[in-house]
Amino acid sequence: MSVEAKTNRILPIGAIGLRGWVMIAVLAFLAVGPYTAHVLGQGFYLDLATRLVCLSIAAVSLNLILGYGGMISFGHAAYIGLGAYCVGIPAYYDYTSGFLHFPLTIVVCGLFALITGALCLRTKGVYFIMITMAFSQMVYFFFVSLDEYGADDGLTIDYRSEFPVVDIEDGVTLYYVCFVSLLAAIYIVHRIVHSRFGMAIRGSRSNEQRMRAVGYNTYAYRLTCYVISGVMCGYAGALLGNYTNFISPEMMDWTRSGELMFMVIVGGSGSLFGPVLGALAFLQLEDQLPHLIQLLGGAFGDLGFSELGQGIKDFSKHWRLIFGLLLILTVLFARGGIDGILKSIERRRRD
Amino acid sequence: MDTALLVTQLMNGLQLGVLLFLLASGLTLVFGIMDFVNLAHGSFYMVGAFVSASLVLALDSFILGVLLAVPIVVAVGVLTEVIAVRNLYPRNHLDHVLATFGLILIFDELTHIIWSPEGISVPLPHWLQGQVELLPGVILPSYRLVIVGAGLAIACALYYVVSHTRLGMLIRAGASNRTMVGALGIDIKTLFTLVFAIGAGLAGFAGMLIAPITNASIGMGNDIIITAFVVIIVGGIGSMKGAFVAAIIIGLIDTLGRSYLDDFFKLFLGDEAAETSAPAISAMLIYILMAMVLVFKPQGLFPPKVR
C-alpha cells in the first residue's frame, strides 16, 4: 500500500469515504446543534454536549497510547481527576486565573505521567494494565484522605478559570472552548500519528524487538507518548472540572477508567475519530438506555400485557445490567468497534 | 510503644493479609494457567458475602450458612466460566479486561436485583462474639483469630493440593505449558473450568469471612480487588508463594501504616505537618512499595518460571 493510500485510510482526503462523512456530520452537528438547542431553551443538551466533548478529548488522548501505541492504560481517569483538582485547589484559595490553572495542570499531569510512566513502561502486557490501574487508585486514595479539600465529599469550585476576553463562566462560551479543544486534540493526534515519531510508536506496538534492532530507543519514544497522552487527558479534566464546578475523588475511580476504555474500544481503537464516536455512544447509552427500557415497557403495556410492561418499566433502573451485557457482546462479536463497522461497510461498497 | 495495641494491629494486618491471599491466589491461578485477566474476581467475593449472609439469616446457623454458601459460589463460578469466560481465553488481555469489566456491572446489578441495594449485616453466633486474652493484657475479638486461622488453614490446604496431588500436578503443568498438557491427553477445558471455580470459591470464602465485620454490600469487591492486583504484581503473577508472601506483607504494611505512620512522621516533622501528611502517605504506601519492587524486580518478588 502506498503512503498516500495509507493516509487516506486514516484521514479521508480526496475521496471522502463513509467514515469521513460520519466524522464531518458529527463535528458539524457538534458545532451548531447544542447552540441551537440552547437558543431554543433546551439547555440540557448544551450540558450534555459539553460533557461529551470533554470526555471525547480524554478518549482521544487514551486512544493515542492504547490504539496507536498498544499501551493499555487502565488508569487514565487519574489524569482527569488531577486536571480537575488543578483547577479546584487553586480556586479554593481564590486563585482563579486560567493562566495559573492550565499550566499547573500541564506540569502536574506531565510530571505524574513521567514518573508513573517511567515505572509502568518497564513492564509489559498484563503487568502494565494492572500497574496503571494501581497508580490511578493511588491518586484516588490520596485525594480521599485529603480532608482539607473535602476528601470523599468533593470540593465545589465557586469560580471557573478566568481568562481575558473569553469568559467561560458563560455556558455557551465554555462549550465552544471545549469544542475547539477537541478539534485541536484530534488534529494534534493526527499530526503525531503521521510523524516520524508516530511511526516509531506504531512500529513498537507491532514489533518492539525489530524497532529496537533498527536502532530506536522504544522506551523513550513510548514514555514521551505516554506523557503527551497524560497531559492531554489532564487538560480534558481541567475543562471538565470547570464545567461541573465540582470535583470529587469519584471522578478517578477505576470504573471511570474502564468507561474511558469502553469509549475507545467501542468507538474503534487506533482510528482518529473512533473515540469521539465511542464517547457519543457511551453518553447516549447512559442517558437513553433507561428511557428506552421504559418505552419498551410502555409498548408492552399498550399491547395489553400491563404487568409485564410494568415489570420492564421497573427494570429500567437496572440499565447497567444491559450496559454490561452490551460491553461483553461488543468484545465478543464486534471487533474494531463502530469505526470497524463503518470501515467494513465502506469496503463492501467499494467492492 | 503500647504492646497491646501493636499486637492488635499486627493481628488486623494479618487478617487483611489472609483475606488478600484468598483473593490473590485465585487471581494468580487463573492468570498463571489460563493467561486470563479477571477483573470480575472481586464479584465472587461480593457474591460469597451476600449468599452466606442470606443463608446464615435463613438457617440461623453461621457454620451451616458458610458451608452451604461455598458450593453455591463455586457453582456461580462454573456458570460464569462456561457462559462467558471460556469464549474469551483465545482473546488478548485488552478484551479480557473489557469483558470482565462488563461482568462486574452485571454482577453488581444482579446483586442489586436479588438482594437490596442497602447491604446485609451478618450476625455472629454467641460463641464467636467473645474475646480472647492472647497475651497478658492483649485482648482480641475471637472472630479475628478465626479469620486468620481459617485463612492460614486454606493456605496450607492449597499448598498441599498444588504440590502433592494429581490435580495440583496438572495445575503446575498447566501453568508452565498449557499446550503440552493438552497434548498429553488431559481434558484442558474441564481443568480450566475447575481452576476458575476454585478461584471463585476462594474469593467467595474470603467474602463470607469478612461479611460479619464489614457487612455484605454492593461494590465491596471492587475496592479490594485492586489491592489484590497489587499483591500479585508484587508477588509475581502466576506464583502461589509470591501471592502468599506479598499478601501478608501488604496486609501488614497497609494496617500498620495507617496506625503508626503519623507517630513515625512526628519524629522528624512538626505535629501538625505529620498529622496532615500521614493519612495521605499511608493511603499510598502499598503503591509506593509496588513501585519500588518494580524498580528492582519488574517481574515481582517470585517471578514464575519462563513459559
| Strands annotated E in chain A | 155-156, 246-247
* Bridge partners of residue A155, in order along the sequence: A247
* Other CB atoms within 10 A of residue B14 CB: 21
| pLDDT at res. A1 | 43
| pLDDT at res. A2 | 46
* Bridge partners of residue A246, in order along the sequence: A156
Helices (H), B35-184: 41-59, 62-83, 93-114, 126-129, 142-164, 166-176, 178-183
Say if the Cβ atoms of A145 and B276 lie within 8 Å.
no
Residues of chain A with pLDDT under 50: 1-5, 7-8, 12-13
* Other CB atoms within 10 A of residue A224 CB: 17
Say if the Cβ atoms of A321 and B99 lie within 8 Å.
no
Residue spans of the domains in chain B: they are 3-296
Which chain A residue shows the shortest CA-CA distance from B103?
A324
- CA angle, A56 then A59 then A65, to 5°: 150
Calculate helix-pair angle for A254-267, A319-333, nearest 10 degrees: 50
Does an H or E element contain A100, and which?
Answer: helix A98-120
| pLDDT at res. B115 | 86
What does A185-196 look like in DSSP terms, one character per residue? HHHHHHHHHHSH
Q: Answer yes or no: are the C-beta atoms of B13 and B251 closer than 8 Å.
A: yes
* Bridge partners of residue B141, in order along the sequence: B131
**Residue A229 in 3-state DSSP?**
helix
Cell numbers found for residue A130 = 494492572
Say if the Cβ atoms of B226 and A254 lie within 8 Å.
yes
Among the listed residues A136, A161, A163, A147, the one whose alpha carbon sits nearest the alpha carbon of residue A82: A136
Q: Which of A327, A329, A330, A335 to mutate to test the interface with B (most CBs of B within 10 A)?
A: A327
Say if the Cβ atoms of A119 and B294 lie within 8 Å.
yes
d(CA B302, CA A255): 29
Separation in Å, CA of B203 to nearest CA in chain A = 19
Q: Which of B97, B108, B261 to mutate to test the interface with A (most CBs of A within 10 A)?
A: B97
Which of left, alpha, beta for A126 (phi over 0: left; psi -120 to 50: alpha)?
A: alpha
pTM score, whole prediction: 0.85
Say if the Cβ atoms of A328 and B112 lie within 8 Å.
no
Domains and CATH numbers, chain A: 3-350 (1.10.3470)
d(CA A112, CA A102): 15
| pLDDT at res. B305 | 65
| Chain B contact for A72 (CB, 8 A cutoff) | yes
DSSP B115: S
User: Using 50, 70 and 90 to split pLDDT, how confident is the model at B306?
Assistant: low
Q: Which of A65, A73, A126, A140 to mutate to test the interface with B (most CBs of B within 10 A)?
A: A126
d(CA B72, CA B294): 38
| pLDDT at res. A96 | 83
**Residue A155 in 3-state DSSP?**
strand
Say if the Cβ atoms of A327 and B112 lie within 8 Å.
no
CATH match for B3-296 among 1.10.3470, 3.30.70, 1.20.1260, 1.25.40: 1.10.3470
* Other CB atoms within 10 A of residue A227 CB: 21
Say if the Cβ atoms of A332 and B94 lie within 8 Å.
no
What is the per-residue pLDDT across B125-179, written as a single tens digit (0 to 9) for each? Answer: 777 777 777 777 777 888 888 889 999 999 899 889 888 898 888 888 887 777 8
Q: Across residues B54-64, what is the average pLDDT?
A: 87
Separation in Å, CA of B120 to nearest CA in chain A = 20
Among the listed residues B83, B65, B48, the one whose alpha carbon sits nearest the alpha carbon of residue B224: B48
Structure-model confidence comparison of residues A316 and B119, the more confident one: B119
Q: Answer yes or no: are the C-beta atoms of A232 and A134 closer than 8 Å.
A: no
**Residue matched to cell numbers 485463612:** B151
| Chain B contact for A129 (CB, 8 A cutoff) | yes
Per CB-CB distance under 8 Å, the chain B contacts of A134 are: 226, 229-230, 233, 287, 290
Say if the Cβ atoms of A325 and B295 lie within 8 Å.
no
Cell numbers found for residue A348 = 463492501
d(CA B145, CA B134): 10
- Distance (Å) of CA A318 to CA A313, B39, B80, B99: 10, 21, 20, 18
CA-based Rg of chain B, rounded to a whole angstrom? 20
Predicted-complex ipTM score: 0.81
Per CB-CB distance under 8 Å, the chain B contacts of A323 are: 102, 105
Per CB-CB distance under 8 Å, the chain A contacts of B31 are: 126
- Identity of the residue in A123, A318, A325 whose CB atom sits nearest the CB atom of B102: A325
Say if the Cβ atoms of A265 and B93 lie within 8 Å.
no
Mean pLDDT of chain B: 86
**Residue matched to cell numbers 471511570:** A256
| pLDDT at res. A52 | 93
Say if the Cβ atoms of A134 and B99 lie within 8 Å.
no
| Chain B contact for A118 (CB, 8 A cutoff) | no
What is the per-residue pLDDT across B251-275, written as a single tens digit (0 to 9) for each? Answer: 999 998 888 887 777 777 777 777 7
Q: Across residues B22-46, what is the average pLDDT?
A: 89
Say if the Cβ atoms of B230 and A326 lie within 8 Å.
no
Percent of chain B having pLDDT more than 70? 98
d(CA B226, CA B174): 26
Say if the Cβ atoms of A127 and B233 lie within 8 Å.
yes
- Identity of the residue in B39, B99, B287 whose CB atom sits nearest the CB atom of A135: B287
Per CB-CB distance under 8 Å, the chain B contacts of A262 are: 98, 101
| Chain B contact for A114 (CB, 8 A cutoff) | no
- SS3 helix, strand, coil % of chain A, rounded to 5? 80, 0, 20
Per CB-CB distance under 8 Å, the chain A contacts of B88 are: 331-332
Among the listed residues A346, A261, A327, the one whose alpha carbon sits nearest the alpha carbon of residue A22: A346
Per CB-CB distance under 8 Å, the chain B contacts of A261 are: 97-98, 101
The answer on pLDDT for B239 being more than 90 is no
